[in-house]
A and B are shown apart, each in its own frame.
Chain A
Amino acid sequence: ELKVEQNPLFLSMQEGKNYTIYCNYSTTSDRLYWYRQDPGKSLESLFVLLSNGAVKQEGRLMASLDTKARLSTLHITAAVHDLSATYFCAVDIRYTGNQFYFGTGTSLTVIP
């Protein structure tokens, strides 16, 4: 059974601090995506990671992928309140026909 687990599930942190969210998955994949979801809203694409060692950065967020460890990280630098949201990783398993399997989600609250 495919599992996509995120850690932590809930995160409350002060503005200006750094933190890393982890996404572990249980089967072979070389495609991983990060999404952001605001309350009551749909998903916004943040990063597309397509190979081992891929690193992408956008503003205060940086995502990386280690396909050998089956691990992706989303690093938050100098958090600001606007980053408060729920973050999901999603794994793309080719042999299942282009489907996404979502992680458990990490609910982030940045406190002023």
Chain B
Amino acid sequence: GAVVSQHPSWVICKSGTSVKIECRSLDFQATTMFWYRQFPKQSLMLMATSNEGSKATYEQGVEKDKFLINHASLTLSTLTVTSAHPEDSSFYICSARVWGGSNQPQHFGDGTRLSIL
């Protein structure tokens, strides 16, 4: 089945640091990947849609200069949290759909737990 790998799984860093999270589709190509944020005991909130070879589409209220997204290939999207602060601490999850599989569910990575001290 379709596998999405996310790295790292857990990162703790000091305030002001930039943190990069990788999302890879291991056995399929994904022209579109999605980035979500989930606070404790809350649902997933879509942050942005990452499009291969073009700019990401950000949801309302998400700062594009804060959360940099790069989708350089059909199997890799990266999310960089720039100058992270404690309020950015959250569980970040990426997902991808099999290319051309619009009726298929999104396949989710294992998530990255980000803790900013």
Interface residues of A (CB under 8 A from B): 31, 33, 35, 40-45, 48, 50, 88, 90, 97-105, 107
B54 within 8 A of A: no
| Closest A residue by C-beta to B112 | A42
- Tell yes or no: B67 within 8 A of A by CB: no
* Contact across chains for A45 and B44 when beta carbons are under 8 A apart: no
Q: For chain A, what secondary structure do more than half of its interface residues adopt (helix, strand, loop), or is it mixed?
A: strand
The interface size of chain B toward A, counting residues with CB under 8 Å, comes to: 25
Number of A-B residue pairs with CB-CB distance less than 8 Å in the complex they form: 52
Q: Do B97 and A31 touch (CB < 8 A)?
A: no
Least CB distance from A42 to B in Å reads 5
What would 6 more interface pairs be, CB under 8 Å, given A40-B113, A42-B111?
A45-B107, A48-B103, A97-B57, A99-B49, A101-B46, A103-B43
Q: For residue A88, which residues in chain B have a CB less than 8 angstroms away from its CB?
A: 43-44
Alpha-carbon distance between A103 and B106 when the two chains are bound, in angstroms: 15
Digit string of B94-117 for contact with A (CB within 8 Å is 1, else 0)?
A: 010100001111111111010000
A101 to B109 CA separation, bound complex (whole angstroms): 17
